[in-house]
């Protein structure tokens, strides 16, 4: 397969997005504001870790080395992770958790819907499962955006701050590099320029309903495609990789 190396990297990116945000959300287990929300956020986390497993397993099959999805998940250094910067941002207050979920899940819904049409059968299969799950994540986040944005003065204030803080990480969703370009011309990857318009349209409506506004600034953070991350990722990895690093090949 001519595009094998690019496809491997594409799988890492998709797997890492799910793995890192799944890990972030798992931090809320038993700490969410109330029981139902605890169930919701950890269910979303579980969906994501399952998705990470599927993409990283496929990556391990594409790799020339004899590695498993666990090796990929737990034994890479920080600069070999390719998750979007927004997925590694801290949970913060509930407003930050929700705004992050909102931006990510609306993007993921449209992205995976498009990926179901990929010529790569494995990617299309994982995407067709994922899109059904993400639909729930998106509705969950959208409901909260409206409820909190159009809620009390305090909830509105916090939501607006979260939007200001996280908006700068949304530009990365639509970046295309050589991996995307090569796979796009092979009919495998998604054309993210087409997703951008849908995403914008879909986030504006609930934000308006929630009386929230988009920030005035246009500067966007970037780096994850090259393995350049914010300070947050190192902290996640130190916890996530600890066991496999301290006790290589440890099994339950």
Backbone φ, ψ for residue 57 (5° rounding): -65, -45
Q: Is 46 in the site for another protein (CB under 8 A)?
A: yes
Binding of residue 201 to another protein (CB under 8 A): no
The SS3 of residue 142 is helix
What is the dihedral angle through the alpha carbons of 185, 188, 193, 197, rounded to the nearest 10 degrees?
140
Any residues with CB less than 8 A from the CB of 140 and at least 6 apart, and which? 40, 44, 101, 105
Other beta carbons less than 10 A from residue 15's beta carbon: 27
Query: Does position 240 bind another protein by CB under 8 A?
Result: no
Applying CB under 8 A, the site for another protein has a residue count of: 28
Out of 3, 5, 27, 37, point to the residue binding another protein (CB under 8 A).
37
Binding status of residue 130 toward another protein by CB under 8 A:
yes
| Number of residues in the chain | 252
Q: Is 198 in the site for another protein (CB under 8 A)?
A: no
- Cβ 220 to another protein shortest distance, Å: 30
Longest dimension (CA), the chain: 56
**Is residue 40 part of the contact set for another protein (CB under 8 A)?**
yes
By the rule CB under 8 A, 36 interacts with another protein: yes
How far from chain centre, in Å, is Cα 27?
15
The residues near 150 (Cβ < 8 Å, ≥ 6 apart) are 156, 209, 210, 211
Give whichever of 44 and 233 is closer to another protein, judged by the CB atom: 44
Least distance (Å) between residue 176 CB and another protein:
26
44 interacts with another protein by CB under 8 A: yes
Among 75, 76, 135, 156, indicate the residue that binds another protein (CB under 8 A). Answer: 135
Please tell me whether residue 156 binds another protein under the rule CB under 8 A.
no
Q: How many CB atoms lie within 10 A of CB 172?
A: 20
For position 121 contacting another protein by CB under 8 A, the verdict is: yes
Return residues touching another protein (CB under 8 A). 36-37, 39-40, 43-44, 46-51, 53-54, 121-122, 124-126, 128-130, 132-133, 135-136, 139-140
């Amino acid at each position: 397969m001519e595009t094998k190396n690019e496809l491997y990297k594409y799988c890492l990116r998709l797997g890492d997005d799910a793995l890192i945000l799944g890990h972030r959300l798992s931090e809320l287990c038993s700490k969410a504001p109330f029981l139902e929300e605890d169930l919701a956020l950890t269910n979303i986390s579980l969906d994501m870790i399952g998705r990470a497993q599927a993409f990283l397993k496929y990556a391990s099959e594409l790799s020339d080395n004899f590695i498993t999805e666990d090796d990929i998940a737990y034994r890479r250094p920080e600069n070999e992770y390719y998750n979007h910067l927004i997925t590694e941002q801290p949970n913060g207050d509930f407003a930050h958790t929700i705004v992050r979920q909102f931006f990510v899940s609306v993007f993921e819904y449209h992205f995976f819907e498009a990926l179901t049409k990929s010529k790569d059968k494995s990617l299309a299969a994982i995407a067709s499962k994922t899109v059904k799950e993400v639909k729930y994540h998106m509705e969950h986040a959208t409901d909260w955006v409206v409820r909190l944005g159009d809620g009390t003065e305090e909830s509105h204030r916090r939501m607006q701050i979260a939007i200001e803080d996280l908006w700068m990480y949304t530009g990365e969703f639509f970046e295309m590099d050589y991996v995307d370009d090569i796979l796009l011309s092979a009919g495998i990857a998604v054309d993210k320029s087409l997703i951008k318009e849908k995403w914008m349209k879909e986030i504006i409506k609930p934000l308006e309903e929630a009386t929230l506004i988009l920030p005035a600034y246009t500067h966007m953070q970037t780096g994850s495609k090259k393995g350049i991350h914010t300070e947050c990722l190192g902290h996640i990895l130190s916890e996530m990789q600890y066991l496999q690093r301290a006790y290589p090949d440890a099994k339950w």
